[in-house]
């Protein structure tokens, strides 16, 4: 096992910091502290827990600029998006502080008993295994409902954003939360299985690739641990013939390039009906060419570098293979000279089944345009994927689009005339190889509780 975690600024390839990996002694101490805290934390009222959540939200806003800069330096997120991410975390904490007690209130059920009801009780220590692309949001959207429900949490974050992982722990301590409520462990991925097997861990929440998620699921299943998995996605944006093209192109480009294209629910496949495909791809290509990319600390740049050089190489290989199989490159598609893990905003068209751009998730600023004969064919193509995280339908006929979104599109989140995004007030998660379980909303806070029947004769 390596002795240190190294953080590298993807905008220039320079090392920014190194961190000691948590040894076995530290891991065992953290688990013990989490257990002790759970015994106290679970006894607090919802009102008392809510006060802590509000305090954490306040501390996030207080340290927003510092946290934003750290995220940008560690994984390359454009600085204005880093600030927005911190604010979104604070909003979610406030939301669960306000709504948590209502979501977890006992539910009376009429039976033959004198009194019977459903109660929601915390499970214990929740292990969060999180990715680098939203270093704060991924953690807080899992943590806020879990601790509001009375659980404690251990975080194993991605190794390239150890600074962010430790900053989250410090924020929670600065907010006055009790010792052991939330702790960060700096561990390589090879240690996850061992951690899941520890009898003190009650449940696991994981966000990341489908391949890594299947390993976490296997380990959790073998040890009979409750789990929530939010995995990869290849979201389809279906543009019907009656869509407002100006608005559709604007929305699609923004949805593809958010977070430099490194989001599970960013637009990946653009399924365009034949009658408007040429005009759509012409306008989209023109707009993508205008997208500024470069130094993520520059407020003018909407796109920063990819998080790591190896991720850029993987994306470029997918693009190159798709072109070799017949896809047409309209812009971008090359590795620029100079330092940093930059990749230019790119557009592929003539994308067909059997190409990486059709079958796989493109985790970077590359749009794949797929032509459909008509609405029926567009829905077939959209559902012809191993993924099912999100999807969008663009049409002036809202009733038509709503029916398709509700009844036909196979995904956990289906949006009409807006880009797919997570919202604390709505459940978020996928189907098929995009995972199972839900985060956020009332369903998210009820994932890591014992849904207990109480029956009094």
Which of the residues are catalytic? 230, 264
Other Cβ atoms within 10 Å of 300 Cβ, number: 9
| Residue 367 phi, psi (nearest 5) | -95, 135
DSSP string, 237-296: EEE-TTS-HHHHHHHHHHHHHGGGG--TTSEEEEEEEHHHHHHHHHHHHHHHHH--BS-T
- To 10 degrees, what angle do helices 162-174 and 46-62 make? 120
HSE, CB side, 13 Å, CA atoms: give it for residue 246. Answer: 0
Helix-then-strand count for the chain, H and E? 15, 20
CB 414 within 8 A of CB 406: yes
């199989």: which residue's tokens? 325
C-alpha 260/C-alpha 307 separation (Å) is 9
- Bridging pattern class, strands 435-436 and 226-230: antiparallel
DSSP string, 24-87: HHHHHHHHHHHHHHHHHHTTS-HHHHHHHHHHHHHHHHHTHHHHHHHHHHHH---HHHHHHHHH
C-alpha 238/C-alpha 233 separation (Å) is 15
Other Cβ atoms within 10 Å of 413 Cβ, number: 24
């Amino acid at each position: 096992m390596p002795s240190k975690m190294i953080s590298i600024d993807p905008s220039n390839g320079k090392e920014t910091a190194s961190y000691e990996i948590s040894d076995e002694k530290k891991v065992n101490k953290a688990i013990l502290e989490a257990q002790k805290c759970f015994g106290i934390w679970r006894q607090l009222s919802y009102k008392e827990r809510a006060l802590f959540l509000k305090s954490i939200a306040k501390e996030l806003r207080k340290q927003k600029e510092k946290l934003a800069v750290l995220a940008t330096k560690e994984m390359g997120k454009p600085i204005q998006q880093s600030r927005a991410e911190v604010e979104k975390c604070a909003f979610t904490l406030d939301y669960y502080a306000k709504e948590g007690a209502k979501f977890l209130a006992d539910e009376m059920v009429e039976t033959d008993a004198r009194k019977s009801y459903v109660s929601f009780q915390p499970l214990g220590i929740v292990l969060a295994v999180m990715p680098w692309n939203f270093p704060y949001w991924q953690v807080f959207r899992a943590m806020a409902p879990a601790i509001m429900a009375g659980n404690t949490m251990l975080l194993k974050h991605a190794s390239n954003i150890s600074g962010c992982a430790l900053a989250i722990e410090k924020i929670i301590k600065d907010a006055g939360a009790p010792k052991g409520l939330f702790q960060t462990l700096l561990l390589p991925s090879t240690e996850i299985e061992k951690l899941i097997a520890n009898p003190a861990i009650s449940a696991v929440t994981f966000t990341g690739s489908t391949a890594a998620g299947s390993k976490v699921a296997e380990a959790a299943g073998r040890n009979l641990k409750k789990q929530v998995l939010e995995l990869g996605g290849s979201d389809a944006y279906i543009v019907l013939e009656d869509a407002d093209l100006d608005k559709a192109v604007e929305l699609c480009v923004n949805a593809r390039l958010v977070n430099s294209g490194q989001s599970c629910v960013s637009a990946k496949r653009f399924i365009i009906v034949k009658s408007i495909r040429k005009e759509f791809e012409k306008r989209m290509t023109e707009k993508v060419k205008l997208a500024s990319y470069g130094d993520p600390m520059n407020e003018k740049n909407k796109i920063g570098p990819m998080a790591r050089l190896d991720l850029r190489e993987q994306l470029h290989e997918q693009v190159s293979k798709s072109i070799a199989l017949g896809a047409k490159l309209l812009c971008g598609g090359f590795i620029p000279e100079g330092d940093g893990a930059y990749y230019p905003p790119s557009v592929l068209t003539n994308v067909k089944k059997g190409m990486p751009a059709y079958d796989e998730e493109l985790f970077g600023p590359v749009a794949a345009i797929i032509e459909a004969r008509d609405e029926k064919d567009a829905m077939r193509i959209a559902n012809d994927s191993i993924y099912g995280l999100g999807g969008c339908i663009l049409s002036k006929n809202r009733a038509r689009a709503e029916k398709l979104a509700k009844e036909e599109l196979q995904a956990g989140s289906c949006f009409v005339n807006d880009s797919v995004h997570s919202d604390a007030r709505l459940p978020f998660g996928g189907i098929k190889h995009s995972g199972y379980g839900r985060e956020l909303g009332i369903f998210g806070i009820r994932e890591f509780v014992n849904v207990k029947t109480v029956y009094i004769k």
